[in-house]
Amino acid sequence: MILVIFTGSRYADWRLAEKGRLLHGFRTAGINSYIQDENFINQLLNKNTDLLYNAERVKKIFFFGAGASSKERQQKIERVFSTFFKNAKVKVAHDLDASALSTFGDEKGIVAIIGSGSNAAYYTGKKIIPNNYGLGYILADEGSTNWIAQQVLRDYLTDAMPNGFREKLDEKYNLDRKYILEKLYNNPNPNIFLTSFADFFYENRFEPYLTNIIKKGLDLFITTYILPLLDQYPDSPISLTGSVAHNYQDWLMEYAKEYHLNIQTINKEPIQNLIKYYINKN
């Protein structure tokens, strides 16, 4: 039995397969090895009955996650999963690797994520070429839900948003200054708080105030990540994954036309193509 996991900060998608057939799929809270400790991840595993039932049957695990870019953080995941899945070999890789495999497979191109966070890199068809991106939700994540939420919350706290939109936020979340600052600065997972606004943003995407922020973020993502990569790898095809890329793809394609980008694929969630890839490989 193989287990494939793709996780962002907000949620994780799990797929179990055996003998070339998908057996089961489900979703849990997200796993970010940069933010969460081993105890948190272990508790998540032990609370899931599907995982408990199949733990000894799983022989191979392919884990792709936000925050799993360094060897140290990959080893954290490997330790927890190897303890829980005692008979399995565990392979841990970054979420960009998942996006690359799910969109390009064994072909080359520029792969990008715009979801809870954002990132981009060049993929050779075999590996991601390292770069200086991926700085996380404090220093980067341009265009992502994290980034959009930061702009909105800053405007909320400084009275810089239209009253009508502010009233919608208050009606939905009952926000105040103390609550927001507590969630951002005295909370072990402030990024989870930021991503919690994702559905609200989508529902209100045509509010002119919010439309402007989302479009600004998409433009900033392209100029920060995609154009510099195209300078290094001219004429490369581009594939994207992530909820923001998918949900606002009409606006994204407007910028693609403006910047003459060759966007081949936009997938919301890589997990479906990932499990197909590994079923075929195993």
How far is 204 from 182, CA to CA, in rounded Å? 25
How far is 104 from 270, CA to CA, in rounded Å? 11
Q: Nearest CA to 214 among 114, 123, 107, 120?
A: 114
Structure tokens at 226: 């995609």
Instruction: Enumerate the β-bridge partners of residue 4.
Output: 15, 62
Q: What is the pTM of this model?
A: 0.88
Residue 31 has pLDDT above 90, yes or no: no
Beta-strand relationship, 2-7 and 11-18: antiparallel
Beta-strand relationship, 60-65 and 21-29: unpaired
Per domain, the residue ranges of the chain are 2-99+271-281
Residue 226 has pLDDT above 90, yes or no: yes
How far is 196 from 60, CA to CA, in rounded Å? 32
Per-residue pLDDT tens digits for 122-166: 999 999 998 888 777 788 799 999 999 999 999 999 999 999 999
136 versus 224: the higher-pLDDT residue is 224
- Mean pLDDT (the chain) is 92
Taking CA atoms, 121 is separated from 48, 72, 157, 212, in Å, by: 34, 21, 34, 26
Structure tokens at 191: 């990024």
At residue 134, the pLDDT reads 75
What ranges make up the beta strands (E) of 36-143?
60-65, 89-94, 109-114, 118-123, 128-129
At residue 221, the pLDDT reads 97
Structure tokens at 91: 């392979």
Spell 164-185 as b/e; 16+ CB within 10 A means b.
Answer: ebbebbeeeeeeeeeebeebbe
Superfamily (CATH) of domain 2-99+271-281: ATPase, nucleotide binding domain (3.30.420.40)
Structure tokens at 168: 């919608």
Of the listed ranges 70-74, 159-163, 203-207, 227-231, the least confidently predicted one is 70-74
How far is 17 from 279, CA to CA, in rounded Å? 7
pLDDT mean over 34-49: 87
Beta-carbon-side half-sphere exposure of residue 241 (alpha carbons within 13 Å): 22
How far is 233 from 216, CA to CA, in rounded Å? 25
